[in-house]
């Protein structure tokens, strides 16, 4: 939408509704496709394979052909530039201080084909949406709804800015079927691969024993009240624990200690916001649906427990923006699959429930993409250089 903006890229506003237009076009495509083709009907178990493939092809092209969106793309590009595909273990050890070993090897394989970073981005995106294709088909009760929730609840940021994390999360979502089927070996295999992509996957290993557990109703209410109080009161309960583990026991190397120290300094006071209200409402809606079910659906239970962990992570790490976002990112997927369950449960109980959720998801998309770092361009059509994209990121972060 460059024709709606100033000619001089340096004069682009930091915040503008114009930046959101391509993302809303993508959402409009999802809506139109769902209305014209009836991709999936949870009640009739009907499935339109051609429409579903078209949907994911468009998502892959949209994100795979992006031109340096958001901040981390530039960091990934810089690292990719200096990688040498030697596959020698000493080299991998030295260079895995920033990229995890599995992801580094994957990057080397891509660089053997071409040093073009845009090719690397496309391959990353293709793999992500192939994995997501199977996850959504397996777990979603409303595919278009799930896609909109994915875009609104951090999916855009995760796909563009967290390419390693995204693979770890998607591999965990693939492994959820093995939680249901109680196949520990396959579950571990999926998440070991995910751990090689990003170390945060370490937190997924205990999920095999946690996510399928029914919580006693009284214990659930007590747990929710405790963490709700911690969340609202902004009580920092992990301050001393982090200091002890990281700094006194020195469990990490000096580089890691320095990174954690930087994160630790990035503290803030939790404020009452629209997001805070939404998280509390979602907690209440999910708990009511859980407590009213005599026989709890297996998949609902897994995504309900995932949301509880998401809320606990927000409560415990609310004192620090970086820690909070790192841990909650692991469980944002709960929104993508939990809300379609809630939409069915509250149909007839709350008027226009799905519509309200959809509007809120669209509002989140607007807030996430209305800054110049989100200004969408493709590798085929772009009027900005890499240095100008760096300028957009700096302006968004307030350092320009």
Which among 275, 313, 274, 306 is positioned nearest to 290, based on CA atoms?
A: 306
pLDDT at 193 over 80: yes
Residues 6+ apart with CB under 8 A from 346: 285, 289, 353
Which among 400, 264, 290, 397 is positioned nearest to 342, based on CA atoms?
A: 290
pLDDT value, residue 260: 57
- First-to-last alpha carbon distance for the chain, in angstroms, is 23
The pair of three-digit structure tokens given for residue 326, joined into one six-digit string: 């790192």
201 DSSP 8-state letter: G
Cα separation, 159 vs 26, whole angstroms: 15
The pair of three-digit structure tokens given for residue 373, joined into one six-digit string: 């770092």
- Where would I find the beta strands (DSSP E) of the chain? 40-41, 46-47
pLDDT at 8 over 70: yes
pLDDT at 351 over 90: no
Backbone φ and ψ for 86, nearest 5 degrees, come out as -95, -30
Cα separation, 163 vs 155, whole angstroms: 11
Tens of pLDDT, residue by residue over 52-109, are: 899 999 999 999 999 999 988 888 998 999 898 888 888 888 877 778 999 999 999 9
Is 81 exposed, middle or buried (CB count within 10 Å of its CB: 0-12, 13-18, 19+)?
exposed
pLDDT value, residue 217: 86
Q: How confident is the model at residue 243 (pLDDT cuts 50, 70, 90)?
A: low
pLDDT at 285 over 70: yes
- 3-class DSSP state for residue 378? strand
The pair of three-digit structure tokens given for residue 332, joined into one six-digit string: 């944002």
Q: How confident is the model at residue 316 (pLDDT cuts 50, 70, 90)?
A: confident
Contact between residue 361 and residue 151 where contact means Cβ atoms under 8 Å apart: yes
Tens of pLDDT, residue by residue over 100-137, are: 999 999 999 999 999 999 999 999 999 999 999 999 99
Cβ count within 10 A of residue 268: 12
Residues 6+ apart with CB under 8 A from 323: 242, 263, 264, 317
Q: Interior CA angle at 99 toward 98 and 100, to 5°?
A: 120
* Mean pLDDT in residue range 270-285: 86
Q: Which residue has the higher pLDDT, 236 or 61?
A: 61
Domain boundaries, the chain: 2-234+269-396
The rounded Cα 51 to chain-centroid distance in angstroms is: 24
Q: How confident is the model at residue 242 (pLDDT cuts 50, 70, 90)?
A: low
């Amino acid at each position: 939408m460059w024709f709606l903006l100033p000619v001089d890229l340096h004069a682009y506003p930091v915040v503008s509704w114009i930046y959101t237009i391509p993302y809303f076009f993508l959402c409009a495509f999802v809506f139109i496709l769902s209305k014209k083709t009836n991709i999936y009907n949870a009640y009739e178990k009907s499935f339109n394979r051609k429409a579903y493939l078209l949907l994911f092809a468009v998502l892959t092209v949209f994100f795979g052909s992006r031109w340096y969106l958001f901040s981390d793309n530039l960091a990934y590009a810089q690292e990719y530039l200096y990688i040498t595909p030697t596959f020698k273990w000493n080299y991998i050890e030295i260079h895995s201080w920033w990229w995890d070993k599995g992801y580094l090897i994957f990057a080397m394989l891509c660089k053997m084909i071409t040093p073009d970073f845009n090719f690397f981005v496309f391959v990353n995106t293709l793999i992500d949406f192939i994995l997501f294709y199977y996850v959504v088909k397996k777990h979603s009760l409303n595919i278009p709804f799930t896609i909109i929730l994915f875009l609104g609840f951090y999916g855009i940021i995760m796909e563009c800015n967290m390419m390693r994390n995204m693979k770890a999360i998607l591999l965990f979502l693939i492994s959820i079927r093995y939680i249901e089927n109680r196949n520990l070996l396959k579950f571990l295999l999926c998440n070991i691969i995910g751990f090689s992509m990003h170390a945060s996957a370490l937190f997924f290993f205990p999920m095999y024993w946690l996510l399928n557990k029914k919580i006693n109703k009284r214990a659930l209410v007590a747990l929710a009240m405790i963490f709700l109080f911690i969340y609202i009161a902004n009580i920092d309960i992990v301050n001393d624990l982090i200091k002890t583990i990281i700094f006194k026991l020195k469990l990490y190397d000096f580089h890691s200690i320095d990174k954690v120290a930087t994160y630790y300094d990035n503290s803030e006071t939790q404020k009452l916001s629209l997001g805070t209200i939404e998280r509390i409402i979602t907690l209440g809606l999910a708990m009511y649906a859980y407590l009213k079910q005599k026989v709890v659906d297996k998949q609902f239970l897994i995504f309900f427990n995932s949301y509880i962990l998401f809320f606990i992570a927000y409560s415990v790490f609310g004192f620090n923006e970086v820690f909070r976002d790192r841990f909650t990112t692991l469980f944002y997927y709960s929104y993508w699959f939990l809300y379609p369950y809630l939409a069915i449960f509250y149909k007839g109980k709350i008027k226009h429930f799905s519509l309200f959720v959809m509007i809120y998801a669209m509002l989140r998309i607007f807030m996430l993409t209305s800054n110049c770092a989100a200004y969408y361009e493709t590798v085929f059509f772009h009027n900005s250089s890499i240095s100008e994209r760096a300028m957009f990121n700096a302006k968004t972060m307030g350092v320009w």
